[in-house]
Amino acid sequence: MEQRFVYMDYNATTPLREEVKARMIEDLDIYANASSMHEAGRRARDRVEMARKQVAALIGAKDPSTIIFTSGGSESNNTVFTTMYELGRNAERRKIITTAIEHPCVLNAARHLADEGFPVVFLGVDGQGRIDLSELERELDPARSSGGASLLVSVMAANNEIGTVQDLAAISRLAKAAGALLHTDAVQAAGKLPIDVEAWGVDYLTLSCHKIYGPKGIGALYMRRGTKAEPLIRGGHQELGIRAGTYNNQGILGFGYAAELALRDQGAFEMRLRALRSRLRDGILAAVPDVRVNGHPTHVLPNTLNVSFPGAEGEAILLSLDLEGIEVSTGSACASGSLEPSHVLMATGVGPELAHGSIRFSLGRGSSEEDVDYVIEKLAPAIKRLRRMSTIPSSACRA
Amino acid sequence: MEQRFVYMDYNATTPLREEVKARMIEDLDIYANASSMHEAGRRARDRVEMARKQVAALIGAKDPSTIIFTSGGSESNNTVFTTMYELGRNAERRKIITTAIEHPCVLNAARHLADEGFPVVFLGVDGQGRIDLSELERELDPARSSGGASLLVSVMAANNEIGTVQDLAAISRLAKAAGALLHTDAVQAAGKLPIDVEAWGVDYLTLSCHKIYGPKGIGALYMRRGTKAEPLIRGGHQELGIRAGTYNNQGILGFGYAAELALRDQGAFEMRLRALRSRLRDGILAAVPDVRVNGHPTHVLPNTLNVSFPGAEGEAILLSLDLEGIEVSTGSACASGSLEPSHVLMATGVGPELAHGSIRFSLGRGSSEEDVDYVIEKLAPAIKRLRRMSTIPSSACRA
């Protein structure tokens, strides 16, 4: 097979869809400040409001005013935690419950609240990456745990590294029963799974546009009507006073269109990706001896396959594949460059050495069966070579 | 003269330059996550670093690593004030000195620190919009003012509504002598005036890309080397850990190119705009009786003309001009929709009624002598008609 370029890092980011790109190029001339009172400003504002409806529809939100545009997922998540700081700093109800496998921005925002004296609990996960609902229930009960009444439960809808999907409806029932707010980071779930803020019963939900084939630098925070939010960025009166700053017309309009297409295509996309993922998993299992597939076998994103290769080192695998034109990752791009093993894999009980020998394959719209077969073909000899060179005994990695 | 479309609201936002637009369309395919380790990620990262150099050059910063990319001016300004919160919350040195005419995002961020118990002073300005350096010196002296030692002086380089330019080099000398940090919001100065962070002696400087004919949703914070910053958005390790979130490739690359062009053209642009501004000012003074030009006669942005029309109401003027295809504003777009008179004009001593009858004309790259003459031609009868209809006596407005 001749050299191909195979991008399998769609969880890090996605290219613009051709339709979104074409629309964005048309819209590059919509430059007026959407807060301006003149005709050009009002026209820009109308387009922003249309995009807001498109984004609301993607997550089943009936009221578009529940959507606040932000600069991305990290800002949305930080806005929720800043809000919790304001709500909890002088209140009895201030316990924060999140998980050990959240994205770095939730983890760091939660650690910051811990530094500020908030009781913060990071729930562990089982070997497949799901939280234990009875542990959540115990932590929500002040009589059976420390830290008092809970202010917030923050659990990601689907994990970015291993793809494990949580049972948000069940989590919501427990959180509501205890009077806590519920936030979910749905950055990786959006477009890949159906999202329904009503069925999930969430109060806050985070979205990022660049994960659904739209532009970078734009995201959203869903806030259930009546829910409070504290501005992270203070200033003008934009976005109900919750998010100041001139409207990013291009980003917002691109987001709206990407959301509309993601909603339209979600079912077929999910089915096609699930088949490709199975082909990749089965192909790797057949071609490479002694591997471990991480994450949940069924409650998993349709596009995400995380595999550990005992006796090989993740960055070496990544670079070997890179030379063959294959782009994958060892985990979150937001954590890359770090020498620490994946906190997500570690939380599932994978030891540090095995965690260091793991690769995230994330498929997407451009992925084909040929891509999958090419990856399998190139991966098998690479792992064999690296294992031969490795000083790490394969068995030690399974500790 | 037949109907034209005349945009004179360049201080609210600017259209994309054709060259930037063309480059951005080319760059829409650079989608990889600039934090990814693979080849595509490294290529994206190289482009981000090239843009960082271009932005650094615009403000005379020798070290590109002093530039932190943000989602815009409001985020940059808020990052500075969040940093002051962390630096000052448990310190003796915590007084904040800013001005009464800052952009709403600085004012609101400063008010938030006041709510947190910080001593915050909003310096007044003279009738032309400049701060009094002896008043600043007094406020910086704990022996002659309240609030203790000063942590930060934040003074905008040029005002967005009236265009008045402050003497930053002098302000810097006073701030440094008192051991305070200096921040300037240079969003409106960039591209219109030469900026030199060394000559100005600033520690933090805020930029926004959409005011210099580049894309929206992207800005920067200059931080002198060795200066501290506290993340507003926590998460990944991007931007030295100061600003988490996936790199907005398109925004950043567009910003870099817009900055390069702004630097190249600044001198000629300033000269051309200054001539157009004079033509507009002289034309209005000749065609409309009883008007007041606000701001400083010489220390003023080359493109900004703020005029009060006693006996006419600002929004009515705006809508009359809008019908003629002329887009202007009554003040900051970030404050539009508000019924309050301009805080900037009020600070210069303009009474509330006259402040309500003021228009900001802001010229830009697309402005021509024909545009200026068209505005003058349409403005004179509009003011005459509105004054006839008005219930506000013209004389009362000059109080």
SS (H, E, C) chain B: CCCCCEECECCCCCCCCHHHHHHHHHHCCCCCCCCCCCHHHHHHHHHHHHHHHHHHHHCCCCCHHHEEEECCHHHHHHHHHHHHHHHHCCCCCCEEEEECCCCHHHHHHHHHHHHCCCCEEEECECCCCCECHHHHHHHHCCCCCCCCCEEEEECCCECCCCCEECCHHHHHHHHHHCCCEEEEECCCCECCECCCHHHHCCCEEEEEHHHCCCCCCCEEEEECCCCCCCCCECCCCCHHHCECCCCCHHHHHHHHHHHHHHHHHHHHHHHHHHHHHHHHHHHHHHHCCCCEEECCCCCECCCEEEEECCCCCHHHHHHHHHHCCEECECCCHHHCCCCCCCHHHHHCCCCHHHHHCEEEEECCCCCCHHHHHHHHHHHHHHHHHHHHHCCCCCHHHHC
| Residues sharing a CB contact under 8 Å with residue A298, sequence separation 6 or more, in sequence order | none
Q: What is the pLDDT of residues B60-109, one digit of tens each?
A: 999 999 999 999 999 999 999 999 999 999 999 999 999 999 999 999 99
- Do the chains contact at B336 and A28, CB–CB below 8 Å? no
Which residues of A fall within a CB distance of 8 Å from B328? 38
Range of weakest confidence among A260-274, A385-399, B172-186, B293-307: A385-399
User: Span A164-187, mean pLDDT?
Assistant: 98
The minimal CB distance from A37 to the residues B232, B235, B329 is found for B329
Which residues of B fall within a CB distance of 8 Å from A104? 235-236, 244
- Model confidence at B383: pLDDT above 70: yes
Task: Give how far A316 is from chain B: nearest CA, Å.
Answer: 11
Mean pLDDT of chain A: 95
Q: What is the pLDDT of residues B65-76, one digit of tens each?
A: 999 999 999 999
Q: Is A92 exposed, middle or buried (0-12, 13-18, 19+ CB in 10 A)?
A: exposed
Q: What pLDDT was estimated at residue B306?
A: 98
Pairing of strands B95-99, B120-123: parallel
Q: What pLDDT was estimated at residue A18?
A: 97
Q: Rounded to a whole number, what is the distance in angstroms from the first to the last CA of chain B?
A: 37
- Do the chains contact at B31 and A12, CB–CB below 8 Å? no
Give the closest residue to B223 by CA, choosing from B59, B66, B61: B66
Give the type of residue at B284: I
Nearest residue in chain A measured CA to CA from B105: A235
DSSP A339: -
Nearest residue in chain B measured CA to CA from A105: B235
What does R_g of chain A's alpha carbons equal in angstroms?
A: 22
Domains and CATH numbers, chain B: 6-15+266-397 (3.90.1150.10), 18-262 (3.40.640.10)
User: Span B157-183, mean pLDDT?
Assistant: 98
Between CA B320 and CA B156 the distance in angstroms is: 32
Q: What pLDDT was estimated at residue A2?
A: 74
Q: A308 has which bridge partners?
A: A292, A358
Residue owning tokens 């704990």: B142
Nearest residue in chain A measured CA to CA from B338: A237
Q: What pLDDT was estimated at residue A334?
A: 62
Give the closest residue to A138 by CA, choosing from A95, A167, A106, A107: A95
Q: What pLDDT was estimated at residue A333?
A: 65
| Residues sharing a CB contact under 8 Å with residue A37, sequence separation 6 or more, in sequence order | B315, B318, B319, B322, B329, B330, B336, B337
The minimal CB distance from A336 to the residues B37, B77, B336 is found for B37
Which residues of A fall within a CB distance of 8 Å from B74? 233-236, 244-246
The minimal CB distance from B25 to the residues A25, A237, A338 is found for A25
Which residues of B fall within a CB distance of 8 Å from A217? 71, 217-218, 248, 250-251
What percent of chain B is predicted at pLDDT more than 90?
Answer: 92
Between CA A205 and CA A221 the distance in angstroms is: 6
Nearest residue in chain A measured CA to CA from B32: A13
- Model confidence at B333: pLDDT above 90: no
Give the closest residue to A208 by CA, choosing from A254, A161, A154, A162: A254
User: Span A172-178, mean pLDDT?
Assistant: 98
Task: Give how far A177 is from chain B: nearest CA, Å.
Answer: 30
Task: Give how far A219 is from chain B: nearest CA, Å.
Answer: 11
Mean pLDDT of chain B: 95
Which residues of B fall within a CB distance of 8 Å from A37? 315, 318-319, 322, 329-330, 336-337
Q: What pLDDT was estimated at residue B397?
A: 40
Between CA A159 and CA A157 the distance in angstroms is: 7
- Model confidence at B347: pLDDT above 60: yes
| Residues sharing a CB contact under 8 Å with residue A268, sequence separation 6 or more, in sequence order | none
Token pair in block for residue B219:
């800005």
- Model confidence at A335: pLDDT above 70: no
Which residues of A fall within a CB distance of 8 Å from B108? 234-235, 244
Torsion over CA: A330, A331, A335, A339 (sign) = negative
- Model confidence at B399: pLDDT above 50: no
- Model confidence at A399: pLDDT above 60: no
Residue owning tokens 């008007």: B291
CB pairs under 8 A between A and B: 260
What's phi and psi for B247, nearest 5 deg?
-60, 135
Q: B385 has which bridge partners?
A: none
> Model's pTM, two decimal places?
0.95
Q: What is the pLDDT of residues B272-325, one digit of tens each?
A: 999 999 999 999 999 999 999 999 999 999 999 999 999 999 999 999 999 999
- Model confidence at B394: pLDDT above 90: no
The minimal CB distance from A33 to the residues B236, B318, B333 is found for B333
For B182, other C-beta atoms within 10 Å of its C-beta total 23
Give the closest residue to B184 by CA, choosing from B142, B213, B164, B156: B156
- Do the chains contact at B234 and A72, CB–CB below 8 Å? no
Which band of pLDDT confidence, cut at 50, 70 and 90, is reported for residue A390? confident
Which residues of A fall within a CB distance of 8 Å from B31? 13-16, 216
Nearest residue in chain B measured CA to CA from A319: B38
- Model confidence at B398: pLDDT above 60: no
Q: What is the pLDDT of residues A52-66, one digit of tens each?
A: 999 999 999 999 999
Three-class HEC string of A247-274: CCHHHHHHHHHHHHHHHHHHHHHHHHHH
The minimal CB distance from A234 to the residues B7, B21, B109 is found for B109
- Do the chains contact at A327 and B105, CB–CB below 8 Å? no
DSSP A211: G
Is there a catalytic annotation at residue A334?
A: yes
User: Span B8-22, mean pLDDT?
Assistant: 97
- Do the chains contact at B218 and A218, CB–CB below 8 Å? no
Task: Give how far B360 is from chain A: nearest CA, Å.
Answer: 12
Pairing of strands A95-99, A292-294: unpaired
Range of weakest confidence among A151-160, A170-179, A232-241, B115-124: A232-241
User: Span B190-214, mean pLDDT?
Assistant: 97
Give the closest residue to B129 by CA, choosing from B360, B335, B379: B360
Q: What pLDDT was estimated at residue B335?
A: 63
- Do the chains contact at B16 and A37, CB–CB below 8 Å? no
The minimal CB distance from B237 to the residues A16, A215, A338 is found for A338
CA distances to A26, A33, A72, A213 from A44, rounded to whole Å, are 13, 7, 21, 22
DSSP A293: E
Task: Give how far A356 is from chain B: nearest CA, Å.
Answer: 15
- Model confidence at A398: pLDDT above 70: no
| Count of CA atoms in the C-beta half-sphere (13 A) of A5 | 4
Q: What pLDDT was estimated at residue B390?
A: 77
CA distances to A359, B204, B266, B315 from B271, rounded to whole Å, are 57, 28, 9, 31
- Do the chains contact at A215 and B78, CB–CB below 8 Å? no
How many whole angstroms from its chain centre is CA A97? 18
Q: What pLDDT was estimated at residue A3?
A: 81
Q: B359 has which bridge partners?
A: B307
Measured CA angle at B347 (ends B345, B352), to 5 deg: 55
Which residues of A fall within a CB distance of 8 Å from B13? 31-33, 36, 246
Give the type of residue at B12: A
Which band of pLDDT confidence, cut at 50, 70 and 90, is reported for residue A152? very high
Chain B interface disruption, residue of A37, A43, A68, A115, most B CBs within 10 A: A37
What's phi and psi for B112, nearest 5 deg?
-65, -40
Which residues of B fall within a CB distance of 8 Å from A51? none
Chain A interface disruption, residue of B20, B24, B28, B68, most A CBs within 10 A: B28
User: Span B224-228, mean pLDDT?
Assistant: 94
Q: What pLDDT was estimated at residue B392?
A: 58
Between CA A187 and CA A220 the distance in angstroms is: 10
Give the closest residue to B383 by CA, choosing from B300, B283, B298, B303: B283
Q: Can you say whether residue A207 is alpha, beta or left, with left for phi > 0 and alpha for psi between -120 and 50 degrees? A: beta
Range of weakest confidence among A75-79, A265-269, B148-152, B390-394: B390-394
Between CA A102 and CA A106 the distance in angstroms is: 6
Q: Which residues of B are catalytic?
A: 334
- Using an 8 Å Cβ cutoff, are B215 and B255 in contact? yes
Q: What pLDDT was estimated at residue A395?
A: 47
Residue A23, H or E segment = helix A18-27
- Do the chains contact at B74 and A248, CB–CB below 8 Å? no
- Using an 8 Å Cβ cutoff, are A330 and A342 in contact? yes
How many whole angstroms from its chain centre is CA A78? 14
Give the type of residue at B211: K
Residue A276, H or E segment = helix A249-287
- Model confidence at A162: pLDDT above 90: yes
